[in-house]
Structure 1
Amino acid sequence: MWLIDQLVEQHIREAQAAGELDQLPGAGKPLILDDDSHVPPELRASYRLLKNSGYLPPELEMKREAVELDALLQSLEPDDQRYQPNLKRLTLLEMKLKQAGLSTGFLDGEYRHHVKQRFAENN
């Protein structure tokens, strides 16, 4: 163990013994940890740093955008002029996610019914 690690551990033990850590927010509650088991260990620190800075890997950014588009499409009527361009964008995102090997099961909105209906009409 490094000298700095030992000093930090010593300060933590002293603070705990003095009761200085008892009133911290979330004390006594389980930690909510992100599951980063799918990220290689050598990349976890950099991914966490990017995530905490508000950046997402491209696949997760596409998922986030797809969820937002899905919600938007559910709030629009099919004859709304914004519906078709957003439907096309969501369909493209879904294809990209599938190509990346990611599940698109989270997209079960009304747009899916519309896409299947249009596909059936065109074939």
Structure 2
Amino acid sequence: MAILSWLAEQRIQEAMRSGEFANLPGHGKPLELEDLSGVPEELRMSYKIMKNAGLLPEELTLRAECVTLEELLVACHRSGNNDTGERKELETKLSLKRLRLQQLLQERGLEGNAAYADYGDAIRQRLTGIEE
């Protein structure tokens, strides 16, 4: 195996000397490494696969929708908007999203999972920008 590593290293060095890597996208820029430290280890591979496919788990989508609805409610209160119908509609939507999220967590056995709770806190912080 050591000979294969050596051979690969030699070919990489040769390609670098001949300038084959000079025109690659991102050349000379730092790598953008993904920080998966907030994702429980047992969920990282599935998270990565779903992310690369452009999919998000339903619970993450629901959490993001809840944050958006909460922000809309705060904006309604700040603006002094007296349209109680709109506020009630937002509150109803938020309640339904929270119920669906709770149901999902129960179905998947994640409701009492400490790792998932920590992950949820990290996602909430990222979505809201507020540290608890």
Alignment TM class, shorter chain as reference: 0.5 to 0.7
Give structure 2 stretches of 5+ with no counterpart: 106-110
- Alpha-carbon distance change, 79 to 6 in structure 1, aligned in 2, over 3 angstroms: farther
Partner of 1:113: none
Contact 1:69 1:86 in 2 (8 A): yes
Equivalent residues of 1:78, 1:84 under 8 A apart: no
Q: Give the aligned residue type for 1:86.
A: L
Q: Specify whether residues 88 and 22 from structure 1 end up closer, same or farther in structure 2 by C-alpha distance, changes over 3 A only.
A: same
1:30 equivalent in structure 2 = 30
Give the direction of change, closer, same or farther, for the CA distance of 1:107–1:14 in structure 2 (3 Å limit).
closer
The secondary structure found in structure 1 opposite 2:36 is coil
Note the 1:1-123 alignment, pairs <5 A.
Answer: 1=1, 11-37=11-37, 38-40=39-41, 43-73=43-73, 77=81, 79=83, 81-91=85-95, 92-93=97-98, 96=102, 101=117, 102-103=120-121, 104=124, 106=128
Could you say what secondary structure the match of 1:86 adopts?
helix
Query: How far is 1:50 from its partner?
Result: 0.8
More helix by share: 2
- Superposition TM-score, scaled by structure 1 size: 0.55
- Whole-angstrom distance in 2 between the partners of 1:66 and 1:33: 28
- Cα–Cα, structure 1 residues 35 and 107, in superposed 2: closer, same or farther, change >3 Å? closer
Normalising by structure 2, report the TM-score. Answer: 0.52
Unaligned runs of 5+ in 1: 109-123
* Whole-angstrom distance in 2 between the partners of 1:67 and 1:50: 22
Matching residue's letter, 1:30: P
Q: How far does the alpha carbon of each residue in 1:50-87 deviate from its partner, in whole angstroms, 9 at most, with x for none? A: 11111113332222222333454466545164432222
Inter-partner Cα distance in structure 1 for 2:34 and 2:6: 27
CA root-mean-square deviation: 3.9
Decide whether aligned partners of structure 1 residues 39 and 74 sit closer, same or farther in structure 2, where only a CA change above 3 A counts: same
Give the number of aligned pairs.
106
Q: 1:30 to 1:85 in 2, by over 3 A?
A: same
